[in-house]
Amino acid sequence: MAANPMSQFDVYRIGPEIKVGAFDISFTNASLFMILSTVSVLLIFNLGSKKNSILPNKIQLLAELSYTFVSKMISDTAGSKAKPYFAFIFSLFMFVLFCNMFGMIPYTFTVTSHIIVTFVLASFIFIGVTVIGFIKHGFGYLKLFVPSGVPAVLLPLIVVIEIISYLSRPISLSVRLFANMMAGHTMMKVFGGFVISLGIVGGWLPLSFSVALTGLEILVAFLQAYVFAILTCIYLNDALNLHH
Amino acid sequence: MVKKIYFHSLFFSFFFIKEAFAAENGGMPQLNPEFWVSQIFWLILTFGIMYLVLSKLILPKISKNLESRKSQILENIEAAEKQREDSDAKLKEYNEIISKSKLEANSIFNQARENALKDIDAKKQVLDKQIDNEIAEAEKEIDTLRKNAPDKINKIAIETSSELLQKLIGTEVNNSSISAIVDDLSKRNGDKYYGN
């Protein structure tokens, strides 16, 4: 079982089966790591916002740097109109980042390596952004699909392409995160398996690879959380400042 | 590029150790819908709680902290600026006082010098006048002396010559004839003695 590089993605029930109607909402290892991520985020940021000293201590600095990092990211990509959505994007970034980072600890479960989780997040963003766009611009939001300065002959084609690209947003957003996480973790598992199968003689090469991959995966974990958040900002920018 | 390497390695890994898990190869667990509902439920629950707590409690506090720090720093900068301005004003005042007192000292010095010069001038004038007067008086005296000198000499000559004659001849000689001779002589030789 442990040799299968995909077995790390198995979801299994912890504790009894909980059923609400026809739905199984049992507590699983995925739920455990979602709760762990949430609790650590809340703990860190609660500690980081408790005291207000002019010279911040380490944890306060961490919280404030994250705050300014995300707030700068939002104002850079979506402008000042996106301020009411700051808390959502901040939570999104932190949730994805912590789930990714928890996955980097050996023997843990990576919540974001499951397509259903990333897809729910991405669809929520997609639906939310679309609703915001229609509230802000009414049917004028449909102008998003009609870029200005396109020759009339090409317009039908362009509109179709734009609509397809718009509709594929939740898929691309969710698959990007899920695939990156899954591929990285599978790679690490595979190289770990090589270390064992090649033994003390030949195992050093995959081991060094494993070490390098761990560093790369930590980078990817951060980068994918960042990409997820910044793409959300870009979609939000389309909905808030309609200028195509 | 990185992804390509991933998938290549994935492919090779399957190639190498496919025997190891050929028996339990059930595909991707991600596509098994058994726990999808549970994952969605827990995702919404945890993410919702996280969002609510962050947006209602924690983020406003952090933002307030940042704001208060910013304002405090601005206040401090303002205070520092104010103090600098104050010190600048003080420095200016000080410089003004110094330059004013320098001017004052200069003017006092100049006045004193002028006064002294005036004093000296006045005294010099008085002295000059005195000297001039004295010179004039002396000249007058010399003049009178010079004027009187020939007469006296003549008189002495007359008296001496009359006495000489008296002793030589034993008779009194008429003074008037002697004086006529002396006058005549002095007129002729006067130039030799007095230079006029």
In angstroms, the Cα distances linking B93 to B81, B82, B86, B96, B98 are 18, 16, 10, 5, 9
pTM here is 0.71
Phi-psi region of A199 (alpha: psi -120 to 50; beta: other; left: phi over 0): left
- The pLDDT tens digits for B49-61 are 999 999 999 999 9
Give mean pLDDT, residues A104-133: 94
Predicted pLDDT of residue A164:
95
pLDDT at residue A77 in the model: 92
What number is the average pLDDT over the span A171-190? 93
Nearest Cα to Cα of residue A182 among A10, A28, A35, A36:
A10
The candidate with the shortest Cα–Cα distance to B158, out of B188, B196, B191, B185, is: B185
CA of B42 to nearest chain A CA: how many angstroms apart? 6
User: Is B195's pLDDT higher than 70?
Assistant: no
The distance of A192 to chain B (nearest Cα, Å) reads 11
Angle, helices A169-202/A115-137, rounded to nearest 10 degrees? 150
Residue B4's pLDDT is what? 58
- Give the closest-approach CA distance of B82 to chain A in angstroms: 21
Q: Please indicate whether, in this complex, the C-beta atoms of B30 and A216 are within 8 angstroms of each other.
A: no
Full 3-state SS string of chain B: CHHHHHHHHHHHHHHHHHHHHCCCCCCCHHHCHHHHHHHHHHHHHHHHHHHHHHHHHHHHHHHHHHHHHHHHHHHHHHHHHHHHHHHHHHHHHHHHHHHHHHHHHHHHHHHHHHHHHHHHHHHHHHHHHHHHHHHHHHHHHHHHHHHHHHHHHHHHHHHHHHHHHHHHHCCCCCHHHHHHHHHHHHHHHHHHHHCC
Establish if A4 touches chain B: CB-CB under 8 angstroms.
Answer: yes
A36-77 pLDDT, tens per residue? 999 999 999 999 988 877 788 899 999 999 999 999 999 999
Using a CB-CB distance cutoff of 8 angstroms, which residues of chain A are in contact with residue B37?
23-25
Q: Is B74 in the A-facing interface, judged by CB distances under 8 Å?
A: no
Average pLDDT, chain B: 83
Mean pLDDT of B1-11: 55
With an 8 Å Cβ cutoff, are A30 and B38 in contact? Answer: yes
pLDDT given at position B122: 94
- Considering only CB atoms, which chain A residues are within 8 Å of B71? none
User: Which range is least confidently modeled, A66-80, A206-220, B22-36?
Assistant: B22-36
Percent of chain B whose pLDDT exceeds 70: 83
- Across chain A, what does the average pLDDT equal? 91
Give the pLDDT of residue A168.
Answer: 95
Q: What is the pLDDT of residue A7?
A: 84
CB of B2 within 8 Å of a chain A CB? The answer is yes
Over residues A8-16, the mean pLDDT reads 87
- Return the closest-CA partner of residue A100 out of A6, A222, A239: A222
**Band of residue B8 on the pLDDT scale cut at 50, 70, 90:** low
Residue B20 is predicted with a pLDDT of: 43
pLDDT at position A23, please? 87
Q: Which of residues 3-22 of B touch A (CB under 8 A)?
A: 3, 6-7, 9-10, 13, 16-17, 20-21
Mutate to test the interface with B, among A1, A10, A11 (most CBs of B within 10 A): A11
Residue B22: pLDDT band with limits 50, 70, 90: very low
Name the residue of chain A whose CA is nearest to B31's CA: A115
Q: Is the dihedral of CA B125, B127, B131, B136 positive or negative?
A: positive
Over 70: is that where the pLDDT of B10 sits?
Answer: no
pLDDT-based confidence at residue A199 (cuts at 50, 70, 90): confident
The pLDDT value given to residue B23: 38
CA distance B85 to chain A (A): 26
Residue A20 pLDDT exceeds 90: no
pLDDT of residue B185: 77
What is the predicted pLDDT for the residue at B50?
Answer: 95
Residue B5, pLDDT > 90, answer no
